[in-house]
């Protein structure tokens, strides 16, 4: 098991109190698994990604444990995480487009980064060039400033740099959202290729776009209001979702072929709950068409089929 997260709680401190961004999250990512993480904005998906790598600022580690390759990962200790970041767990952040230092040529930035971690650039350079070529970039990019690269090129450069030391886990946060469809396809396919070539053992791919996840992910985890709603193999989430939230989310996606004139789709009424003072019980209950009195208690995240977990009282095991 590459990653095992147990009852993770991470809150944001604010003047008004703690925002419960992650409220008791437990899941596992197997070796070689690409897990997609989906949900609306503000459901905690980026908080989950960030807390595994870079828990800083207003984020506060409250409880729970994270194990990477069987050894505990000290996510609550910012300093102690330094030896794991980039080497064992790495991230392609949401702002990857602006993650490159604008005042350094790409090559020099990589050199400085590796040196700061105690690695010899020249020993790694051949591999770097090989991987740049693999993602369709010329060795010339190393001599360019970030401003001279297009969005897709920057995205690919950051991906190559993030995975250069073959980490066990890569967290890719909304990396395809700002791209055009053809670039999006290229970058998303690259994620799978990196896993297949063993550059990265496992991945968590965060995006609000379930149709992209369906293309690249082995499993999909759906979050809602800082908690887990459903996790299952990608095809099962798309073909036979069990949680009412997942069902509504999937049915609200327009697909090529679906037209307003012939088939009017519906959104999900209401908004996600404020996590400053999250509601008791099932957090989806105010928007849920199936809610009953039973939903006033928090539903357990339980297995309802092989590899299929759901947190809903209305879904019988």
Partner 1 sequence: MSALVELDACTKVYRVGSFGSGRLTAVDDVTFDVRSGEVVSLIGESGSGKSTIGRMILRLSPVTSGAIRFKGEDISAFGDRRLAEYYRHAQGVFQDPFSSYNPVYKADRVFALVKNAYFPHVDGATWRSRIEASLEAVSLDPRQVLHKYPHQLSGGQLQRLLVARALLLDLEFLVADEIISMLDASTRIDVLNLLGELKANGLGILFITHDLSLGNYISDRTLILRRGVVVESGRTADVFGDPRHPYTRSLLAAVPHLHTKWGPGTTTEARHSPTTPPALVTVGPGHLARVAQ
Give contact residues for partner 1 (rule: CB under 8 A). Answer: 40-41, 136, 151, 180-182, 184-186, 188-189, 208-212, 214-215, 238-239, 248-250, 252-260, 264-268, 271
Report the nearest approach of partner 1 to the CB of residue 44 (Å).
14
User: Closest CB to partner 1 among 112 and 180?
Assistant: 180
Sheet of 17-29: strands edge to edge? Answer: 17-29, 3-14, 59-68, 71-72
Q: How far is the CB of 211 from partner 1 (least distance, A)?
A: 4
Kindly tell me which of 122 and 259 has the beta carbon lying closer to partner 1: 259
DSSP codes of every residue in 74-134: -TT-TTGGGGTBTTTEEEE-TTGGG-S-TTS-HHHHHHHHHHHTT--HHHHHHHHHHHHHH
Closest CA to 230 of 65, 33, 43, 12: 43
Task: For partner 1, give the closer residue by CB, 254 or 289.
Answer: 254
**Taking the chain, what is the end-to-end CA distance rounded to the nearest angstrom?**
25
Select 208 or 298, whichever has its Cβ closest to partner 1.
208
Q: How far is the CB of 220 from partner 1 (least distance, A)?
A: 11
Among candidate residues 31, 34, 117, 25, the one with its CA nearest the CA of residue 70: 31
- 246: closest CA among 23, 4, 25, 39? 39
Cβ distance to partner 1 smaller for residue 99 or 186: 186
CB of 82 to partner 1, least distance (A): 34
Nearest approach in angstroms of CB 238 to partner 1 is 5
Alpha helical stretches, state H, the chain: 45-53, 106-116, 121-134, 151-162, 181-196, 210-216, 234-239, 244-251
Cβ at position 165, least distance to partner 1 in Å: 27
Residue closer to partner 1 by CB (options 14, 189) is: 189
Give the CA angle between residues 141, 144, 149 to the nearest 5°: 75
Helices 181-196 and 151-162, packing angle to 10 deg: 10
- As measured in angstroms, the least distance from the Cβ of 49 to partner 1 is 17
Neighbours of 61 (CB within 10 A): 18
Beta-strand pair 219-224/227-233: antiparallel
Please identify, using beta-carbon distances, which residue of 166 and 209 lies nearer to partner 1: 209
């Amino acid at each position: 098991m590459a990653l095992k997260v147990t009852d993770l709680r991470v809150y944001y401190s604010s003047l008004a109190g703690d925002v419960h961004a992650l409220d008791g999250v437990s899941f596992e990512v197997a070796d070689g698994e690409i897990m997609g993480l989906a949900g609306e904005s503000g459901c905690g998906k980026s908080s989950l990604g960030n807390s595994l790598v870079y828990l800083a600022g207003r984020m506060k580690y409250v409880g729970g444990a994270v194990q990477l390759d069987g050894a505990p990962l000290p996510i609550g200790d910012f300093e102690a995480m330094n030896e794991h970041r980039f080497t064992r767990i790495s991230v392609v952040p949401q702002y990857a487009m602006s993650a490159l230092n604008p005042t350094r040529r790409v090559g020099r930035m990589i050199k400085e980064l590796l040196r700061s971690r105690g690695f010899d650039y020249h020993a790694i350079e051949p591999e770097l060039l090989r991987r740049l070529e693999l993602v369709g970039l010329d060795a010339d990019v190393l001599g360019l400033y970030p401003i001279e690269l297009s969005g897709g090129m920057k995205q690919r450069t950051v991906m190559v740099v993030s995975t250069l030391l073959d980490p066990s886990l890569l967290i890719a946060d909304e990396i395809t959202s700002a791209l055009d469809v053809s670039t999006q396809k290229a970058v998303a396919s690259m994620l799978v290729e990196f896993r297949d070539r063993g550059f990265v053992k496992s991945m968590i791919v965060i995006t609000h776009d379930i149709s992209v996840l369906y293309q690249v992910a082995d499993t999909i985890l759906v979050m809602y209001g800082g908690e887990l709603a459903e996790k299952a193999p990608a095809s099962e989430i798309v073909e036979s979702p069990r949680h009412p939230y997942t069902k509504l989310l999937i049915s609200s996606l327009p697909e090529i072929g679906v037209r307003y004139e012939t088939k009017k789709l519906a959104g999900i009424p209401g908004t996600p709950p404020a996590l400053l003072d999250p509601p008791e019980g099932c957090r989806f209950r105010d928007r849920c068409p199936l809610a009953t009195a039973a939903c006033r208690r928090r539903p357990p995240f339980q297995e309802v089929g092989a590899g299929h977990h759901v947190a809903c009282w209305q879904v019988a095991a």
